[in-house]
Amino acid sequence: MPKEKYDPPDPRRMYTIMSSEEAANGKKSYWAELEISGRVRSLSTALWSLTHLTALHLSDNSLSRIPPDIAKLHNLVYLDLSSNKIRSLPAELGNMVSLRELLLNNNQLRVLPFELGKLFQLQTLGLKGNPLAQEIMSLYQEPDGTRRLLSYLLDNLAGAIKRTFLVCAVPTEQPPARSWISLQEPDRAHPATLFSVMCYNVLCDKYATRQLYGYCPTWALNWEYRKKSIIQEIMGCNADIISLQEVETEQYYSFFLPELKEQGYDGFFSPKSRARTMSESDRKHVDGCAIFFKTEKFSAVQKHTVEFNQLAMANSEGSEAMLNRVMTKDNIGVAVLLEVRKEMLEISSGKSLHGLDKQLLLVANAHMHWDPEYSDVKLVQTMMFLSEVKNIVDKATRSFKLSTSGETSAIPLVLCADLNSLPDSGVVEYLSTGGVDCTHKDFKELRYSDSLTKFNCNGKSSTSNGRITHGFKLKSAYENGLMPYTNYTFDFKGVIDYIFYSKPHLNVLGILGPLDPHWLVENNVSGCPHPHIPSDHFSLYAQLELLLPSVPSQVNGLHLPARR
């Protein structure tokens, strides 16, 4: 994990006692550090209620053991247990993940619990003056010894648990299955067909490092280990349409596509824009977005790649922010225009659909820029993507001579994305309400307005009262906090992944709910990835209903009005 600046407590500790006069005048006392000294042999249980403490000084006493309840002091960043008579440490010490400094010098420790490896934010570990095994001390005395030792302990933690069966500091069982949440019943009054959609950021191998995910063992970050759980989750959902982000180019062609083709899928993939300037050997490690679909239900009509940096360059209109902030990010989106196979429609509706127009469905998938400081870039990228999606829909509608009714598109849209944006962001406001003001705070008062008018739903000539709008009526499948987080790391837990669908042609019937939060708490899972959770994102899965247009009745080749 990136190390934050840590200032250890001042060794020259000063103590002041509040006078009775100060207390009478209502002066409040606040202390975040506590020192206990005087050859103390045991600690009062009342100590564990002082959960506000950030520093605890227990050196130069006669303590022979530390109770497991010390882990209740979850805000401690500094713990000094030096110069005692401690023979062993509780495994629960590994749950104190806020610790930056742990001093254990001059004790009687012969072994360290493997759980200490979970202290991924620890910067200083004092072990001198203990009769520890040579293997431990050799690691500790190497350059960057604290980090090396913690990595060794964490990597061997699961094996130690399996060997001893004495502790359960990390989950030894798979997490419970996520529950299904039904949202509404199918519309029986209209012909319709059902299909399912999955959206999943699989965490590209090159991003799965101990620097970013210090709480996860090295072996559990390894792609060869993680990919088995990832494909197991994908196949377990058995979605009709799968949208994946952070798919490495080589892994798409050598792993995902072959595995999913065996299950009856075909796919489309595009890497980030940087791939075009790279050598072939480097290009295979660039990540991108992929869409898979079941060929028994859909056939691909068109495939599109949307490069945001190219759109930024072509539409900058003199905007420095567009050139310097948006054009320099190489995120992409992909879209596949699918035709729903007539056999699927007839099976779903229970009747022959002779005379029905070609039923198309557009599936779009994107991964927006990650940095929280670039809310403007994420919003502009989203506007660009939806503008391009609208162009795809409009051209296909004309090309296939599809009938439209009013402002409603003839081609329904399913939009899956890692938007890297929270539900209260301008990005989600734009998608779910149909537009945002040009003065929205997420633009950071940067000059974008002239360059954004091209992305308005009616083009540059439209007037929309200072708003940038789109023409789709989009709803999120996971509304009203149904998912408390889709990204779950130590530093950040929140909803940034979404499945949107267009009304009125599509309805959501149900979704896969969140992982049981009790399992995460009970097993002290401070973040993902984790030995049982292969990505830092949770997958989204929704069942959607596609309402079909009424099919005209025929008698001897003559069209008759359909019954109402």
**CA pair distance 152, 157, nearest whole angstrom:** 9
Rounded to whole angstroms, the Cα distance separating 145 from 119 reads 14
Give me the pLDDT at residue 348, please: 63
Per-residue confidence band for 326, with pLDDT thresholds at 50, 70 and 90: very high
At 356, the pLDDT band (50, 70, 90 cuts) reads low
Residue 189: the pLDDT is: 81
Q: pLDDT by residue (tens digit) across 147-186?
A: 999 999 999 997 654 444 333 344 457 899 999 999 999 9
The predicted-structure confidence for 10-68, as pLDDT tens digits, reads as follows: 666 666 676 778 777 877 767 899 999 999 999 999 999 999 999 999 999 999 999 99
Q: Which residue has the tokens 């267009």?
A: 502
Residues designated catalytic: 418
Token representation of residue 348: 């779903």
55/280 Cα distance (integer angstroms)? 53
Count CB atoms within 10 A of the CB of residue 403: 8
How does pLDDT run across 182-236, given as a tens digit for each residue?
999 998 888 899 999 999 999 999 999 999 999 999 999 999 999 999 999 999 9
Q: What is the CA radius of gyration of the chain?
A: 29
pTM of the predicted model as reported, rounded to 2 decimal places: 0.89
pLDDT in tens, 399-440: 999 877 666 788 999 999 999 999 999 999 999 999 999 999
Alpha helix ranges (H) inside 326-448 = 342-349, 375-399, 426-433
On the question of pLDDT at 129 being above 50, the answer is yes
Contact 240, 195 (CB under 8 A): yes
Average pLDDT, the chain: 90
Query: Which whole number is the average pLDDT over 83-95?
Result: 97
Say what the pLDDT of residue 170 is: 43
Say if residue 249's pLDDT is above 70: yes
